[in-house]
Structure 1
Amino acid sequence: MAFNFNALVDEFRRTNWQEPGTWHVAPKLLVLLAIVVGIPVAAFFADTQSQIEELENGRNQETKLKEAYLGKKKQAINLDLHRQQLREIDTQFGALLRQLPNRSQMDALLVDINQAGLGRGLQFELFKPAPSETVREFYAELPIQVKVVGNYHDMGAFASDVGQLSRIVTLND
């Protein structure tokens, strides 16, 4: 059984496309195939494609929301620990703030520094507080130029004594 392609082409040529009732079997099958394939393809692109995109967007959003949920869940699990740490930090910060001298305590602090040096047998050649303080976010700095004469061990002991003061003092150079 050989397939005659020329006969099929000839059948399509002789078909009167204006009168479907007179069509031969091959054109009818071709139109039926076009309808059977065309309708699902058209439906896919008309409606299903947008639904697939919407589904994919929903899956992406679900993934992002799950990640956000897990991050917040970890934070919630550690919330009590974070609150405890915050209380400890507040306590430490308050203690440090209390160690910073205020303006009324500056004179006493300068006297304490001077006494620490004299107590170690050092001689002050220069003890000159700056005329104004530098204001920072939580504190103010008041630089003091000091020239001290003494031996190495006495200088170390003086630095240790200044470090032991109840107020925060930093030594440079």
Structure 2
Amino acid sequence: MNFDSSAFMAQFEGLELDNIGQWPKAARIVLSIFLVVLVSSLGYVLMISDQIKQLERVTAQEITFKQEYQAKYHVAANLEIFEQQMIEAEALFAKQLKSLPESHETPGLLDDITFVGTTTGLDFVKLNWQPEIEQEIYVELPIDIEVLGSYHQFGEFVSRIAGLPRIVTLHNFDIHMKNQASGYLKLKLQAKTYRYREADK
């Protein structure tokens, strides 16, 4: 059976939209297919594409919710461990706070430094408080120190300062010869202690 393309195309000649009911069968089938494709495309664009985008958003939210759930489940499953760690951290923090001098204790720190220096054989040239330096959660209390002595005495002095019950850090070391005849050395440094800012409030 041979397909006569010229006869097939002849069915589409002289067609008018006002008289669709009288069109040849082939022409009506082609028009029906075209209308189905057109309606399907419009339906997809107007309805289904929005639903697909919404589905993608919901899927992304589901992944986020799963991750949040897993994180919260991990916390809940280990709640007792976290609570114990929190108690230990608070105890450690309280212990460290006790190592910071309170306002009424800072003058006594100068006495402690003076005692440590004199018992190691040092001569004090300078021992003065400097202006306080406020940080976010604590206040620095710097002390300028100048002493005369030997290397050995300086080492013992620094070691004993580190052993004080209150937190004291040492900075800006400068050692030079005071007098060659006497063999004395001069040590300049800055000691810093700290005060918790909440204690001021």
- Counterpart amino acid of 1:82? F
| SS of alignment partner, residue 170 of structure 1 | strand
Match of 1:155 in 2: 154
Q: Report the alpha carbon displacement of residue 16 of structure 1 after superposing the two structures with TM.
A: 5.2
Cα 1:12–1:93 shift into 2, 3 Å: same
CA distance in 2, matches of 1:42, 1:141: 72
Q: Report the alpha carbon displacement of residue 35 of structure 1 after superposing the two structures with TM.
A: 4.4
Match of 1:79 in 2: 79
**Any residues of structure 2 matched to 1:8-23 within 5 Å, and which?**
8-15=8-15, 17-23=17-23
The answer to which structure has the higher helix fraction is 1
8 Å CA contact 1:135–1:141 kept in 2: the answer is yes
Deviations 1:79-116 (A, max 9, x none): 33333222222222222222111222122221111111
The answer to which structure has the higher strand fraction is 2
| SS of alignment partner, residue 170 of structure 2 | coil
Match of 1:65 in 2: 65
Match of 1:97 in 2: 97
- Counterpart amino acid of 1:80? E
Q: Report the alpha carbon displacement of residue 135 of structure 1 after superposing the two structures with TM.
A: 3.2
8 Å CA contact 1:17–1:23 kept in 2: the answer is no
Task: Give unpaired runs (5+ residues) of structure 2.
Answer: 174-201
Bigger mean CA deviation after superposition, 153-162 or 13-22: 13-22
What is the Cα-based RMSD across aligned positions, in Å? 2.3
CA distance in 2, matches of 1:39, 1:143: 83
Cα 1:110–1:8 shift into 2, 3 Å: same
8 Å CA contact 1:133–1:143 kept in 2: the answer is yes
Match of 1:140 in 2: 139
- Counterpart amino acid of 1:122? L
- Counterpart amino acid of 1:73? Y
Question: What is the TM-score of this pair, normalised by structure 2?
Answer: 0.73
Aligned residues: 172
Cα 1:43–1:136 shift into 2, 3 Å: closer
Report the identity percentage.
33
Task: Give unpaired runs (5+ residues) of structure 1.
Answer: none
Deviations 1:95-140 (A, max 9, x none): 222211122212222111111111111121222233x433334433
Bigger mean CA deviation after superposition, 161-170 or 30-39: 30-39
| SS of alignment partner, residue 12 of structure 1 | coil
- Counterpart amino acid of 2:93? F
